Amino acid sequence: MQKRQTNTMKGFTIIEVVLVLAIAGLIFLMVFIALPALQRSQRDTQRRDDMSRFMSAIQSYQSNNNGNLPTLTTQAGSTAFLNNYLKQDVGEFVDPDGTNYSINTNIDPGNQVAAGNIDHNIFFVSGARCGEDGNTIENDGARNYAILYRLEGAGVYCGDNN
């Protein structure tokens, strides 16, 4: 008796290989599309944390200076506050893209921060609070303040001490 040999070849067919490559391509495409949005969201989360830290520094300044707000209307005053309370000069308070934040006090309460590119300006307004929509500021008491910061992907961050 002879054993019959069957001619079976082991391996993948061309259709199976193409199918696996197509599925891998779809997965890669989904990751490629979702990654920039995820990175933008992470940078905006860091910016929100930085703005909370900025507000904590203002509260620290107020408790060290009889409840007075810092003088941020000059470049020297802004730089001193950023360096002394937030350690910007040693790289501890910078935007996630590596650019230093700057403080802008030239905004009228009630005006909205214009849409556009991130310009790393923290808008600080004394005697104000955030409006109901979260994008504007309104007049309020003298020891109060509001800050506005334009985020990269999710509008505007508005914070106040009320």
Residues 85 and 14: their CA atoms lie apart, in Å, by 65
Tens digit of pLDDT for each residue in 120-153?
888 888 888 888 777 777 777 777 888 888 888 7
Bridge-based pairing of strands 121-126 and 102-104 is: parallel
| pLDDT on residue 6 | 64
Neighbours of 54 (CB within 10 A): 21
Model-level pTM?
0.76
